[in-house]
């Protein structure tokens, strides 16, 4: 007489939703760190090089010219001081954006890592939270290196500058979440070149990195204020120059809400793509 196999007693593999999400995400992070162990030197060197090049070329070269025109427009600080934190925030945007395009696409469809992982007790939200944690890790190490370089140039005003690290993390994740959502809908990489050309590069140029957004025409100013980079730059610059604007809670709230909303969309789209 045939009997149907019973479930073996024992705790379920993941005891509750919260510890499960943290543990699952930690494994995705661990996997990325395992890969990073082989590549971290090059990546860290790049983190040194970027601010060094920008600050040398634009900061020192340009600021000589600009000093003659006065610095009122910059809030009375040297151009180098204005530029340094701006470059920090926009580099975070660029790295986080890149990490959320080709590598994520590869894990979805070229190398199908996610398919392999989802054959285990891991679930889609573990993948997403894990990848965002990985971005947070990268942003932390990048911002730390940047702060060291900025210090060499004498830019930070006080230990408050350390708050630039969480601000940079938030800025990076605010780009990673919507771009992972975008990557989850793509079947080839042709959209990514357009994303960088038409979204990321214009933001880099017009979101307060190189000049105050107040220089833009009113409409431009509103557009810039709707993007996460603008708010990221405001917080990072406020921290580094110890001149946090009174509006900081608004910038912070904007980024937090933006990450929550786009993160949820990313979860839905990843799930739709990976579970069929």
Partner 1 sequence: MPPTDEILVHARGLTKRFDAFTAVNAVDFDVRTAEAFGFLGPNGAGKTSTMRMIACSSPVTEGDLTVIGMDPRTQAPQIKARLGVVPQADNLDAELSVEENLLMYARYFDMPMSVARPRAAELLEFMQLTERAGDQVEPLSGGMKRRLTIARALINDPELIILDEPTTGLDPQARHLLWERLYRLKQRGATLIITTHYMDEAEQLCDRLVVMDKAAIVAAGTPRELIEKYATREVLELRIPDGARSSLDGRLDGLAERIEELPDRYLLYADDGEHALEGVHGREIPIDSALVRRATLEDVFLRLTGRSLVE
Site of interaction with partner 1 (CB under 8 A): 1-8, 12-14, 23, 27, 30-31, 34-35, 111-113, 115-123, 275-276
Query: Min. distance of Cβ 130 from partner 1 in angstroms?
Result: 11
Cβ distance to partner 1 smaller for residue 118 or 162 = 118
What is the smallest separation between the CB atom of 16 and partner 1, expressed in angstroms? 12
CA–CA dist 121, 2 (Å, integer): 29
Is residue 196 classed exposed, middle or buried when 0-12, 13-18 and 19+ CB atoms within 10 A define those classes? middle
Query: 8 or 68: whose CB is closer to partner 1?
Result: 8
Shortest approach of partner 1 to residue 49 CB, angstroms? 24
In the bound complex, what is the minimum distance in angstroms from residue 26's beta carbon to partner 1?
9
CB 193 to partner 1: min, Å: 23
Phi, psi of 239 (to 5 degrees): -70, -50
Q: Which is nearer to partner 1, 18 or 275 (CB)?
A: 275
**In whole angstroms, what is the distance from residue 239 CA to residue 173 CA?**
18
Torsion of CA 233, 236, 240, 244, to 10 degrees: 90
What count of other Cβ atoms lies within 10 Å of the Cβ of residue 137? 16
* For partner 1, the closer CB: 3 or 219: 3
**119 or 246, CB closer to partner 1?**
119
Return the number of the residue (32 or 50) whose C-beta is nearest partner 1: 32
Which single residue is written with the structure tokens 């990048």?
A: 142
Minimum distance of partner 1 from residue 265's CB (angstroms): 21
Cα–Cα dist 130/238, whole Å: 29
The residue with tokens 């007489």 is 1
- Whole-number Å distance between alpha carbons of 167 and 144: 12
CA–CA distance, 194 with 79 (Å, rounded to integer): 31
Nearest to 103 by CA among 30, 201, 183, 191: 183
């Amino acid at each position: 007489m045939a009997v149907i196999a019973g479930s073996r007693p024992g705790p379920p593999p993941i005891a509750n939703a919260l510890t499960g999400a943290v543990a699952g995400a930690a494994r995705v992070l661990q996997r990325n760190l395992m890969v990073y162990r082989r590549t971290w030197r090059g990546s860290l060197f790049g983190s040194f090089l970027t601010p060094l090049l920008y600050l040398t070329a634009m900061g020192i070269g340009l600021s000589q010219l600009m000093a003659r025109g006065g610095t009122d427009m910059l809030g009375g600080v040297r151009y180098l001081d204005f530029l340094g934190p701006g470059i920090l925030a926009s580099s975070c945007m660029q790295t986080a954006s890149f990490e959320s395009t080709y590598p994520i696409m590869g894990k979805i469809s070229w190398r199908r890592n996610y398919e392999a992982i989802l054959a285990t007790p891991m679930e889609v939200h573990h993948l997403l939270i894990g990848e965002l944690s990985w971005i947070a890790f990268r942003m932390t190490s990048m911002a730390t290196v940047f702060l060291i370089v900025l210090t060499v140039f004498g830019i930070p005003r006080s230990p408050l500058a350390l708050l630039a690290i969480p601000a940079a993390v938030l800025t990076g994740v605010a780009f990673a979440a919507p771009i992972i959502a975008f990557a989850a809908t793509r079947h080839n990489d042709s959209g990514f070149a357009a994303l960088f050309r038409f979204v990321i590069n214009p933001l880099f140029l017009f979101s307060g990195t190189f000049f105050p957004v107040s220089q833009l025409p009113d409409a431009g100013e509103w557009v810039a204020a709707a993007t996460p980079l603008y708010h990221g730059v405001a917080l990072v610059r406020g921290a580094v120059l110890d001149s946090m604007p009174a509006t900081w809670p608004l910038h912070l709230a904007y980024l937090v809400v933006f990450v929550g909303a786009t993160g949820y969309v990313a979860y839905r789209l990843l799930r739709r793509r990976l579970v069929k």
